[in-house]
Structures are given as C-alpha cells and as structure tokens.
C-alpha cells in the first residue's frame, strides 16, 4: 500500500509483514468481486486479468458454484474433515471420475495431499522417490513448482531459491523447450548425461514439467517436445510428473494441459482452480500401480476442505460435462492472439513479442522495467495484470475462462493503451 504524503500508516503497513507483494502493485483496498471484475471500497471497478493467479478460472462468485456452497453451509455440512469419508468428498470423487477421468481414459488414483499446489508437488516427489528408490528429480530452466523446500529445489528463479536459506538438493535442471533457441536437438544433452556413467548425474526418479511455464514467463512447450520427453522418460525408466497446478482445469482449453500432446503422465498435480471458487484444495493424481502409500504416510490437517469439494463438484458439473467451455476458450484464444499480433506488429526490433496458449498469454519486453511499467499503468486504467519471467520482463494475461467477449476486448484495449502510454 503506497502512502499518500501526510497520511497515517494503514493497518496493512503497521501489522502485516513486509513479505506482502500483490498489494504493493495494486495500491487499493478491494471489497467485493463478481464475474471478471473486482471493486474497491470506493466502488471503483477493475477488470481482472489475474484471476487469483489462476485460481479463479470460473470467475469471482460464480452463481453456479455459489448456490451449492451456500446450501451446503446452510445445512450444517461438514467443513473440516481431514481424510474422513464424507458425502461431499464422495460426490466430488464420483463426479471427477465420471466427468474427467473416464472420458479421457486416465488410469489415476486421487490423493488429497493438502490445501495448496506445493503440497501436491511435495507429495509427488515423495511418491516418486518411494516408488523408484532413487533421490534425484529433474526439472527445467525457468520452472516454478512452489515455495516449500522440495518444490523450491525444482524452481529455477534465483531470487525465490535464495529465500530457502539452506542448500536445495537432489534436483537437476535441464533446458526447457526453446531454451537453447533450437540450436541443439531436443534432449541431446539430457540423454547424453543419462547414458554416460561419468556424467555425475544419478539416475533420476522422475522428471517434472509444466507444459506452459506461467511464472517462468509464459514459456510454451511444443506438443512434439512433450511427446519426446514422455518417450525419454519411458525409455529411461523415469516417472513423468506434469505440474498442472496453474495450467490445468481448462486454462489451455482442454481440462488437462497435456491432452493436446496426447501423452499420459505417470503423476499429475492439480490445485488453484480445482476447487472452482478460490477455496484451498489440491490433488495428486497417479497411476494405480504407483499407489504404494502406507496409511497416513503423507497427510495434512487441511486436506479435507469439504466446502471446496462442494464447489469443485459444481464446477465439474457446470463446465466439464461437454466441450462448450473448451471450445469457447480456444475461440477466445484466437481473439487474444490477434490483438497481441496487432499490438506488436512492427515493434519486434523495439523488443516486443508475445506467446501463449488457450487463455494464458505473455507480452514480453526487451527493455528492463517496461513490463512493470505497463502493469502499473494498466492498474491506473482499471485492469489487473501481473508480470512474470526471471526479470519480470513479461506481462502475463490470465483472465477468467468465463470472461465475455466484450470484457476480453475491453481488457485488451486497456493493455494496448498501457503499452502506448509507457513507450
């Protein structure tokens, strides 16, 4: 919260930790939200192209999810359930199986590891090491997998890694798709290390990958690269983990972001929009034969957030019984791509470029600080967007999947104005 000259410090500045971040970029106090808009305490509207960092794929206070939640709470439904069997959990599991797993032929067991994405990643790492008896896990340049120690060891960002305060071990980073600019065949370096007993690389238990690196700068892996990675893991006896925490639940069009590539990972992590309503919830999915857990071997006090089961079930029923949302997302992706193409046309030499899939897009600026300036100006004009990338060089667009065409055009128009105003 930015102080106005002569004003008294707010409670956010006097009581809340200095670790706060988003409130510094958006210096106002938000009060309510609906659909694709937030409103501050003065009633000023902001179009939301941030969507809770991908936790609000279906928008704010979506009526199709809110009504079942209110009904559940009004009937004194179980709120906190650890891993006890409840009617809310049963309905979610039945719906997830019938709406997501069975139509895709996915052979997964469902684990509730804890309330956040990093809990799901930690569970995936622990499971991979238990199944294989090996320690090393391979991740990729510019990856982001979470802020707890195991997840942080997989993360590429130097600033985030430095916050650990201890060595981050048992991981190895490899080049993500396009990292070497196409000058080296895919996985040449990786496979050479695997086959050379003198390379110093211990045989990995698993490889973890994001199909689109959101925090890393909206880096999009090609379908053929993902297929090559899946083949490499299969040939070299490594489990393939897809981190779909931000890109799953329809963000790229299909429910899972890896569907386009036609691969079936051994393990998948989900969080963010799996609850549908911004309620804490995460899943770790894995092939049945990998389910070697002992009872209680991995647990968490808040892994049974039953209100989240209720809204997750409602979201699956409302949006994933047919292909309507997928088709709409892919259509709107074309709308975003066209707008960004027009915005960057003729400016490539000035350091502007774009990339993305579905409804996640990045607008990259070569000049340091430009992306942050664009985000600041966008906020002043009534649009919430954030930066990503190792140098905050990318403006990331992450609107709700339920955004209307008019709202999408409005947000893209504000972005174009912000870009012009900061030139």
Q: pLDDT of 83-113, one tens digit each? A: 999 999 999 999 999 999 999 999 999 999 9
H/E stretch holding 130: helix 117-132
Residue 173 structure tokens:
């980073």
In angstroms and rounded to an integer, the radius of gyration of the C-alpha atoms of the chain is: 22
Model pLDDT, residue 3: 43
Our CA dihedral for 89, 94, 98, 102, rounded to 10 degrees, sits at 90
Tens digit of each residue's pLDDT (9 = 90 or more) over 391-420 = 999 999 999 999 999 999 999 999 999 999
| Mean pLDDT confidence for 64-80 | 98
Tens digit of each residue's pLDDT (9 = 90 or more) over 131-189 = 999 999 999 999 999 999 999 999 999 999 999 999 999 999 999 999 999 889 999 99
Model pLDDT, residue 6: 53
For residue 35, is pLDDT > 60?
Answer: yes
Query: Cβ–Cβ contacts within 10 Å for residue 39, how many?
Result: 16
**For residue 295, how many C-alpha atoms fall within 13 Å in the half-sphere facing its CB?**
2
DSSP class per residue in 372-406: HHHHHHHHHTTEE-EEESTTS-EEEE---TT--HH
Instruction: Report the distance separating Cα 164 and Cα 86, nearest Å.
Output: 37
CB 238 within 8 A of CB 138: yes
Q: pLDDT tier at 1 (50, 70, 90 boundaries)?
A: very low
Identify any residues that bridge with 394 across adjacent strands, giving them in sequence order: 364, 388
Sorted by sequence, the CB contacts under 8 Å of residue 334 that are 6+ apart come out as: none
For residue 348, is pLDDT > 80?
Answer: no
Q: pLDDT tier at 233 (50, 70, 90 boundaries)?
A: very high
Sign of the four-CA dihedral 9, 11, 14, 18: negative
Residue 116 structure tokens:
């956040």
Identify the CA nearest to 385 among candidates 44, 39, 29, 54. Answer: 54
For residue 2, is pLDDT > 50?
Answer: no
If phi over 0 gives left and psi between -120 and 50 gives alpha, with beta otherwise, what is residue 227? alpha
Sorted by sequence, the CB contacts under 8 Å of residue 313 that are 6+ apart come out as: 68, 88, 91, 92, 95
User: Measuring CA to CA, how many Å separate 359 from each of 48, 49, 162, 251, 257?
Assistant: 13, 10, 31, 6, 12
Sorted by sequence, the CB contacts under 8 Å of residue 407 that are 6+ apart come out as: 35, 36, 47, 399
Give percent of the chain with pLDDT exceeding 70. 98
Sign of the four-CA dihedral 80, 85, 90, 96: positive
Our CA dihedral for 48, 310, 247, 60, rounded to 10 degrees, sits at 0
**For residue 188, how many C-alpha atoms fall within 13 Å in the half-sphere facing its CB?**
7
Identify the CA nearest to 28 among candidates 390, 382, 409. Answer: 382
Spell out the alpha helix ranges (H) of 236-385.
306-319, 324-344, 370-380
Model pLDDT, residue 346: 78
Model pLDDT, residue 4: 47
Helix (H, G, I), strand (E, B) or coil at 242: strand
Q: pLDDT tier at 8 (50, 70, 90 boundaries)?
A: confident
CB 217 within 8 A of CB 249: no
* Residue that has been written with the tokens 């990259």 in this structure: 364
Instruction: Report the distance separating Cα 380 and Cα 415, nearest Å.
Output: 11
| Mean pLDDT confidence for 382-386 | 98
Residue 366 structure tokens:
């070569």
DSSP 8-state class, residue 305:
B
Q: Taking the model in full, what pTM does it have? A: 0.96
Quote the mean pLDDT of the chain.
96
Of how many residues is the chain composed? 423
- Residue 333 dihedral angles phi and psi, to the nearest 5°: -60, -40
């Amino acid at each position: 919260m930015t102080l106005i000259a002569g004003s008294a410090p707010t409670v956010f500045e006097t009581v809340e930790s200095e670790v706060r971040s988003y409130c510094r970029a958006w210096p106002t106090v938000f009060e309510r939200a609906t659909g694709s808009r937030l409103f501050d305490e003065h009633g000023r509207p902001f179009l939301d192209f941030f969507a809770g960092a991908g936790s609000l794929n279906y928008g704010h206070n979506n009526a199709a999810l809110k009504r079942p939640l209110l009904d559940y709470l009004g009937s004194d439904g179980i709120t906190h359930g650890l891993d006890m069997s409840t009617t809310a959990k049963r309905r979610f599991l039945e719906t997830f199986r019938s709406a997501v797993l069975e139509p895709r032929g996915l052979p997964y067991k469902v684990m509730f590891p804890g309330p956040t994405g990093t809990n799901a990643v930690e569970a995936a790492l622990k499971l991979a090491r238990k199944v294989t008896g090996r320690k090393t896990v391979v991740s990729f340049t510019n990856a982001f997998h979470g802020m707890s120690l195991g997840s942080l060891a997989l993360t590429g960002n130097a600033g985030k890694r430095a916050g650990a305060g201890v060595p981050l071990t048992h991981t190895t980073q490899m080049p993500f798709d396009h990292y070497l600019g196409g000058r080296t065949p895919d996985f040449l370096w990786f496979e050479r290390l695997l086959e050379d007993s003198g390379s110093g690389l211990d045989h990995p238990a698993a490889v973890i990958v994001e199909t689109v690196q959101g925090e890393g700068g909206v880096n999009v892996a090609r379908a053929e690269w993902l297929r090559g990675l899946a083949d490499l893991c299969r040939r070299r006896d490594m489990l393939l983990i897809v981190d779909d925490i931000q890109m799953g639940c329809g963000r790229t069009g299909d429910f899972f972001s890896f569907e386009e590539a036609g691969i079936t990972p051994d393990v998948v992590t989900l969080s963010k929009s799996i609850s549908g309503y911004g309620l804490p919830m995460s899943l770790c999915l894995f092939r049945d034969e990998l389910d070697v857990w002992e009872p209680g071997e991995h647990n968490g006090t808040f892994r049974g957030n039953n209100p989240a089961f209720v809204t997750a079930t409602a979201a699956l029923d409302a949006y994933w019984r047919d292909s309507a949302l997928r088709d709409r997302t892919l259509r709107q992706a074309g709308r975003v791509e066209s707008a960004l193409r027009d915005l960057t046309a003729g400016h490539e030499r000035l350091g502007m470029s774009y990339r993305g899939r579905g409804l996640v897009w990045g607008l990259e600026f070569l000049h340091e600080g430009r992306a942050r300036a664009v985000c600041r100006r966008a906020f002043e004009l009534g649009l919430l967007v954030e930066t990503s990338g190792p140098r905050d060089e990318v403006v990331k667009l992450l609107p709700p999947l339920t955004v209307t065409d008019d709202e999408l055009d409005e947000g893209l128009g504000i972005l174009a104005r912000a870009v012009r105003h900061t030139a």
